Amino acid sequence: MSDWQQRFDDRIMRSIGRPLAKLEHGTGAWVTDAAGTTYLDFLAGIAVNSLGHAHPAFVEAVTAQASKLAHVSNYFTTEPTLELAERIVRLAGAGSDGRAWFGNSGAEANEAAFKLARLNNSGGARTRILALVDAFHGRTMGSLALTGKPHMRAPFEPMAGGVEHIPATIEALEASIDDAVAALFVEPIQGEAGVVELPAGFLEAARATTERHGALLIVDEIQTGAGRTGEWFGFQHAGIMPDAITVAKGIGGGMPIGGLVTFGRASDLFQKGQHGSTFGGNPLATAVSNAVLGEIERAGLVANAAARGPQIRERIAAIGSPLVGGTRGRGLLIGVALTEPLAGEVVAHSMREGLIVNAANDHTIRLAPPLIIGDAEIDEFAVRFARALAAAHAD
């Protein structure tokens, strides 16, 4: 065991497993560990580092804003905060009724959305909240109650009340919904479940049934947002308008920030004093998010994500590994289905080949590279991933 592993084991809370490496610095899609080994980063901090590492736009925004004003509290506002609210409402297509609230993480965004759902109570008549089996919405108590993985919830029971998990089928949705449902939470693609897409027509059906019953449709865009799937937000592939989306991960490009964006009547639910966060929406975080989203727009990275996804999937198919059963996902959120439960071995061999990928579960490798990748990174990925698959298969 190396020194850093011992220090980690001694002092970091046991809730986190031992890390794969101790990283030191990075540039673009490349990151270097403390021992000097350089890796091609096809995970990007789990869909967070949209611009890769140390992008000039990110560095410049942190530096400029930190030297001006980092934090002011909710008793004041700042230009970066106003600008980010306007920007994210515009990118989400929420129109003139759109509003944004900012916090510091994905879980915190979903906590805000949970409270929004409770406010849609029709005088106390709406006590039910629907979410999907296998959903992942975060680790705090409210977001955990929404998470459809019983083994994650069990040690922390009792959960916040009223949440029911239904299978992700249109039939289950139509059988479950009634006028007592306050909200339905969905991920456009279930990232943590192994990059699992919703059935065709599910979001459209969810929009129609929630509207019919007065329930809010709340889309968790924490992993799928900020251009990753080849649209600004995953719901936009379905051409629907939700009542709210939650965002985090990729909108900050490495700066901790999350948020709730509301559409239409959902924008009128929160009243003065009903929600807040000391750090939430501070000028440092919002200035960096503006720079990240601005660079994604300027450099056409949403279109890049749309184009590079199929290119990567073709290259994976061309490897012809018997370990690969197929690929799933959209844009640069890709699940590689394995024919054997060897995802952990594939990750370990990838690390040896200087490639960072993720085991979403035993049977799935998740890829979420930065949106800036081009031909050179994809060529490197194909070579390294082929070697890692071959080594894992040979074990």
Ligand X SMILES: *Cc1c(COP(=O)(O)O)cnc(C)c1O
Cβ proximity to ligand X: between 61 and 113 the closer is 113
| DSSP state letter for 328 | E
Asked if 248 touches ligand X (CB under 6 A), the answer is yes
CB 123 within 8 A of CB 169: no
Q: Binding to ligand X by residue 197, rule CB under 6 A?
A: no
β-sheet bridge partners, residue 163: 129
- Give the binding-site size for ligand X (rule: CB under 6 A): 15
Residue type, 240: I
- Is 145 an interacting residue with respect to ligand X (CB under 6 A)? no
| Selected binder of ligand X within 28, 45, 80, 138 (CB under 6 A) | 138
Q: Which is nearer to ligand X, 30 or 136 (CB)?
A: 136
* 111 forms part of the interface with ligand X (CB under 6 A): no
For residue 333, state whether it binds ligand X (rule: CB under 6 A).
Answer: no
By CB under 6 A, is residue 252 in contact with ligand X?
Answer: no
Q: Per-residue DSSP letters for 201-263? A: THHHHHHHHHHHHT-EEEEE-TTTTTTTTSSSSGGGGGT---SEEEE-GGGTTTS--EEEEE-
- The amino acid occupying position 179 is D
Residue 187 is a binding residue for ligand X (CB under 6 A): yes
Q: Which among 82-90, 105-113, 196-204, 348-356 is the span making contact with ligand X, rule CB under 6 A?
A: 105-113
Contacting residue, 105, 209, 282, 358, with ligand X by CB under 6 A: 105
Amino acid at 244: A
In the complex, minimum distance from the CB of residue 51 to ligand X, in angstroms, rounded to a whole number? 18
For 200-215, b where at least 16 C-beta lie within 10 A, e where not — what string?
Answer: eebbebbbbbbeeeeb
Smallest separation, CB 370 to ligand X (Å): 16
Q: Which stretch binds ligand X (CB under 6 A): 64-72, 165-173, 184-192, 297-305?
A: 184-192
Residue 379 structure tokens: 């060529």
Q: Which residue of this chain has its Cβ atom nearest to ligand X in the complex?
A: 106
Helix (H, G, I), strand (E, B) or coil at 26: strand
* Shortest reach from residue 149's CB to ligand X, in Å: 12
- With CB under 6 A as the contact rule, the residue among 191, 254, 309, 335 that binds ligand X is 191
The answer to whether residue 58 forms part of the interface with ligand X (CB under 6 A) is: no
136 belongs to the binding site for ligand X (CB under 6 A): yes
Q: Are 288 and 62 in contact (CB under 8 A)?
A: yes
Query: 3-class DSSP state for residue 389?
Result: helix
Which of the 8 DSSP states describes residue 289? H
Does 39 engage in binding with ligand X (CB under 6 A)? no
Residue pair 193/136 in contact by the 8 Å Cβ criterion: yes
Token pair belonging to 51? 């611009």
Q: Does 107 contact ligand X by CB under 6 A?
A: yes
Question: What is residue 300's three-state secondary structure?
Answer: coil
Using the minimum distance from each CB to ligand X, give the nearer residue, 128 or 249.
249
Which spans of this chain sit near ligand X (rule: CB under 6 A)?
Answer: 105-107, 110, 136-138, 187, 191-192, 220, 222-223, 248-249
